[in-house]
Chain A
Amino acid sequence: MMEILVCIKQVPDTAEVKIDPVTNTLIRQGVPSIVNPFDKNALEAALQLKDKHGGKVTVISMGPPQAKDALKECLAMGADQALLISDRAFGGSDTLATSYTLAAAIRKIGTYDIIFCGKQAIDGDTAQVGPEIAEHLGIAQITYVAKIEVDGDTVSAEREYEEGYGIITAKLPLLISVVKSINEPRYPTIKATMKANRAEIPVWTMADLDVDEEKLGLKGSPTQVRRIFTPPQRTGGVIIQQSTARESVAVLLQSLSDAKII
C-alpha cells in the first residue's frame, strides 16, 4: 500500500493566450484555466502506481479558491482525495515561498512514499517548486522522469538527460518530477466527473499550517518582478512564392548565395 501525493497547479492555457496587436498586452479574456498538463502526467503516474501496488492518491494545490475546479478534475481522474492550500497571505509567492508553504502542508499530511510533480508549470516554466519542496522536506528527488518502477522500498526511474536517459535508483520516500512522455493521462468518466463536482474540497489556510509568517507570500519571496513587457515583434524577412517549388528553391539558393551564406 503506497501513500502518494501529487502537487498540481491550475494555470491559464498559455497556448490560448494571445497578444493584442494594438495595445501589445496579453488578452486573457476567454483563456481557459486548466490543470497544468505536466501535472496530469504526474497524477497519471501516481494512479498507475496505485493500480499496481494499491494505496491512496492525494492531490494538493496551492492557489486561489477557484483552483478547486482543477482539484475536482483530478478527483474525476481517480485521485482519492484533494486538498487546497489557500490564503491571501500566500499571495505573490515566488518559488521559494510556494515550496515552503506546500512543504508545510505536506508535513501536516504526514506520511507519504512518493510526491509527484510535473516537470514544470506552463505559465511560469520554472521547474523549481518540485526540487524546492524536496529540499524543505529533506528528501531525495529524481527530476525529468520518463519511466518509473517501484519494488518494495526501492524506486528505479529513467531520467531524461540532454543526450539520452539515465537509470537512477533511490529508496522511498522521494520526490519525482515527470516529463510528458511518461504516460498518456486518462480521461475521467462522466460518472466520476459528476461525483467529483459534488465533492467538498477541504481548504487549509495559514492558521492550519505550522509556518513562519515572514516566509510566506510576497514577504517570503526573495525574487521580485520588476517589469513585465511583451517581446518585440519581428517583422519577418524575404518571402519567396514562385509558381513552382523548384523556382522557389532556386530563388532561395540565389538569395543565400548573394548574402554569402552558402
Chain B
Amino acid sequence: MAIKVNKEECIACGACLSVCPFSAIVMQDDKAYITEACTTCGACVDTCPVEAILRKEETKVVTMDKSLYKDVWVYLETSEGKLRNVGLELLGEGRKLADGMGQSLASVLIGHNIEGLAQEAFAAGADKVYVVDAAELAQYNTDGYTATLFDLITNYKPSVILMGATNDGRDFGARVACRVGTGLTADCTGLGIDEATGLVSWTRPAFGGNIMATIICPDHRPQMGTVRPSVFKKPILDYSRTGEVIHVPNKVKAEDMRTKLIEMIHVCTVSCNLEEAEIIVSGGRGLCKPENFSLVEDLANVLGASVGASRAAVDAGWKPALHQVGQTGKTVGPKIYFACGISGAIQHLAGMSSSDLVIAINKDPDAPIFKMADYGIVGDVMEVLPILTEEFKKIKSA
C-alpha cells in the first residue's frame, strides 16, 4: 500500500500537512509531497478537499500459504506457578476472535509442573492447551521460551497469537515474531475483526496516548500482538468446560540458554501489585514533598489498596519506578482508582483509563484528570486525604 499525491489535482491548501500524525507531508514547488516518514495511515486521504491524495494498493508477492494457518492462540504467562491475570483476560478476548473467525481457541503453557493450570484455561474458554513442561523451562528465559514458542508455531501453525504486554511478553514476543518473520503489534488496548478482510484489527495508543492506531498484518502468519494487562476483564470461569491437553516435548537444553537468572529479588508486596489490584491510591506532584506521600499510603492501608504514582512523583524520587502508572509505567484497571494530586497528563490517563471508577482530588479545577474522573474533589490534597482516610476508617470499623 502507498499514499500518492496527484500533483495535477493538488491545490496546495495544506490541509493534509496539519492532519498528518507523522509530519510526513511537506510542500515542495507548491504541491504536497509525501516523505519517507509516511506510514500509509491514510489520515490525509480523508482530509484532502479535492481528493488529490490516493491510497494505492500495491500487489505483493505472496510467499506464504496463509490457509495452512488456523486457530487463535493465547500465551499464558505464569508467575510462581500461577497464571497471570492477563492470560485469562486474553482468553476472554481470544474466545470472541476465535468464534468470529470460526476457529478454535488454544492456549500455550510453558514452564515446569504447570499442567494443572490447563483446567483454568479451559474454564476461561480454551478448547486446547499445548503444554511444554520441563525442568529447564521452570524459570522464564528469553532463549528457552523463544525457541519453544517458535517450535510450536512451526509445527502447529496458528493464525493469531495473543500475548500479555508484560516485561517477559514483550521481551520474547518480539524475538519470536522476528524469528518467524511476521508482524507483531505492541501493547494493544483494543482487538477486533476487520470486516472487509477478516483480519485481526489491533488497536493501540501511540504518541504517548495522544492518538490511537489500528494495525493489521495482512500477508504474514501468525498475526501476533501483545495486549496490555488490565484492559480487558477476566471472563467468568466455567469449570464444567473441558478440552484437549496436547503435550509437546521440550527441545531446549540448559546450554542453549545464554542468559542465567541468578536470583529474584521481590521488592513488591501488596502495595505495588498494581496489575491485580482492586483498589489503587495514586499520588502525584500535588503532594509537594516526598514525606506527604505517606498520606496516600495511609489511605491505601485503610482500603487494602495498592499504591501508585505519577511519572512526576517517580521522577522526583518519591516512589520507585515499580509504582509508576502510565504509558511508560504500568497499566492498571482496578475497580476504584484514586488520583491524588495528579494533574492527569495524557500519558498518565493512558495507564489508568480502564479503571471502573475514578476519584480525583486536585486543587486545580481545570486539571485534565477531572475529565476522566467519575467523582472529583476540588481541594488541597494534603487537607482532603487525612479526612478521607479518617472517614473510611470509621466506615470500616462500623
* B262 CB–A CB distance under 8 Å: yes
A-B contact count (CB 8 A): 299
Residues of B within 8 A of A27 (CB): 18
Q: Are B268 and A123 interface neighbours, CB within 8 A? A: no
B380 & A127 in contact (Cβ 8 Å cutoff): no
Interface string of A223-262 (1 = CB under 8 A from B): 1111111110111111111000110111011011000011
Within 8 Å by CB of B21, from A26, A214, A235, lies A26
Q: Is B383 an interface residue (CB 8 A)?
A: yes
Are B40 and A224 closer than 8 Å at their CB atoms? Answer: yes
Whether B375 pairs with A255 at a CB distance below 8 angstroms is yes
- Identity of the chain B residue whose Cβ is nearest the Cβ of A159 in the assembled complex: B167
Docked-complex contact A19 and B210, CB < 8 angstroms? yes
Q: How far is the CB of A181 from chain B (nearest CB, A)?
A: 5
Q: Are A236 and B183 in contact (CB under 8 A)?
A: no
Cβ contact within 8 Å between B18 and A238: no
Q: Is A116's CB within 8 Å of the partner chain B?
A: no
Cβ-based interface call for A160 (8 A): yes
A163 within 8 A of B: yes
Among residues 118 to 136 in chain A, which have CB atoms less than 8 Å away from a CB atom of chain B?
119-120, 122-128, 130-132, 134-136
**CB-CB contacts below 8 Å: A180-199 with B:** 180-181
Q: Mark A11-52, 1 if CB is under 8 A from B, else 0.
A: 010110111000101111100000000100000000000000
User: In the bound complex, how far is the Cα of B353 from the Cα of A236, in angstroms?
Assistant: 12
Complex contact A167–B262 (CB within 8 A) = yes
Supposing A239-B376, A241-B378, A245-B383 touch, asked if A229 and B186 sit within 8 A by C-beta, the answer is no
Contact of A56 with B by CB under 8 A: no
A230 contact set on B, CB distance < 8 A: 210-212
Known contacts A95-B174, A181-B320; decide if A227 and B42 are in contact (CB<8 Å): yes
Known contacts A96-B183, A164-B266, A218-B2: A238-B375 contact under CB 8 Å? yes
Max chain A C-beta neighbours (<10 A), residue from B175, B179, B372? B175
Does any Cβ of A come within 8 Å of B300's Cβ? Answer: no
Comparing A1-9, A69-77, A107-115, A138-146, the segment that makes contact with chain B is: A138-146
Q: Is B254 an interface residue (CB 8 A)?
A: no
Main secondary structure of the interface of B (DSSP, over half): mixed
Q: Are A91 and B35 in contact (CB under 8 A)?
A: yes
Closest to A136 in B: B178
> Which residues on the B side are within 8 Å of A38 (C-beta)?
328
Closest chain-B Cβ to A62's Cβ sits at a distance in Å of 11
CB-based contact B258/A171 at 8 Å: yes
In the assembled complex, which residues on chain A have CB atoms less than 8 Å from the CB atom of B321?
146, 160, 179-181
* Residues of chain A with a CB closer than 8 A to B172's CB: 131
Query: Is the Cβ of A125 less than 8 Å from the Cβ of B387?
Result: no
Q: Is A164 touching B265 in the complex (CB atoms < 8 A)?
A: yes
Give Cα A158–Cα B214 distance, bound, in whole angstroms: 35
The residues of A that contact B260 with a CB separation of less than 8 Å are 168-170
Contact of B179 among A124, A135, A227, A235 (CB under 8 A): A135
Query: In the complex the two chains form, is A222's CB within 8 Å of B219's CB?
Result: yes
- Majority-rule SS of A interface residues: mixed
- Which of the residues A125, A128, A156, A237 comes within 8 Å of B327, measured between beta carbons? A125
Cβ < 8 Å to A, chain B residues 219-238: 219-220
In the bound complex, how far is the Cα of B201 from the Cα of A241, in angstroms? 43
CB distance from A31 to the nearest CB of B (A): 9
Do the beta carbons of A140 and B167 come within 8 Å of each other? Answer: no
B267 in the interface (beta carbon within 8 A): yes
Taking CB atoms, residues of chain A closer than 8 Å to B146 are 135
A251 CB to closest chain B CB, in angstroms? 8
Q: Which residues of B contact A227 (CB under 8 A)?
A: 41-42, 213-214
Name the CB-closest residue of A to B389. A249
**A204 interface residue (CB < 8 Å to B):** no
CA gap between A94 and B183 in the complex, in Å:
8
User: Using a CB-CB cutoff of 8 Å, which residues 1-48 of chain B contact chain A?
Assistant: 1-2, 18-21, 23, 35-43
Q: Considering the complex, which residues of chain B in the window 315-330 have a beta carbon less than 8 Å from any beta carbon of chain A?
A: 320-322, 327-328, 330
B138 interface residue (CB < 8 Å to A): no
Does B90 have its Cβ within 8 Å of any Cβ on chain A?
A: no
Whether the pair B259, A253 counts as a contact (CB closer than 8 A) is no
Min CB distance A173 to B, Å, is: 10
A32 CB to closest chain B CB (Å) equals 12
Q: Which residues of A contact B327 (CB under 8 A)?
A: 122, 125
Q: Are A240 and B320 in contact (CB under 8 A)?
A: no
Residues of A within 8 A of B267 (CB): 163-165
Any chain A CB within 8 A of the CB of B373? Answer: yes
A122 touching B376 in the complex, CB below 8 Å, given contacts A94-B183, A171-B258 = no
Bound CA span A19–B345, Å = 12
Chain B residue with minimal CB distance to A156? B262
Contact of A222 among B2, B58, B220, B371 (CB under 8 A): B220
Instruction: Say yes or no for A64: interface residue by CB 8 A criterion.
Output: yes
Contact pick for B79, options A124, A142, A163, A181, CB 8 Å:
A163
CA–CA, A239 and B360, complex, Å: 9
* A236, B215: Cβ atoms closer than 8 Å: no
17 CB < 8 A contacts A-B:
A14-B208, A17-B208, A25-B18, A90-B36, A119-B328, A123-B206, A131-B172, A131-B175, A132-B177, A222-B219, A224-B218, A228-B42, A228-B212, A231-B205, A237-B358, A239-B365, A255-B375
Chain A: residues with CB nearer than 8 A to chain B? 12, 14-15, 17-19, 23, 25-29, 38, 64, 87-88, 90-92, 94-96, 99, 119-120, 122-128, 130-132, 134-136, 140-144, 146, 156, 159-171, 179-181, 214, 217-219, 221-231, 233-241, 245-246, 248-250, 252-253, 255-256, 261-262
Using A28-B20, A230-B211, A255-B375 as known contacts, list a sample of 4 further A-B pairs with CB atoms less than 8 Å apart, ordered by residue number in A: A92-B36, A125-B208, A141-B142, A256-B375
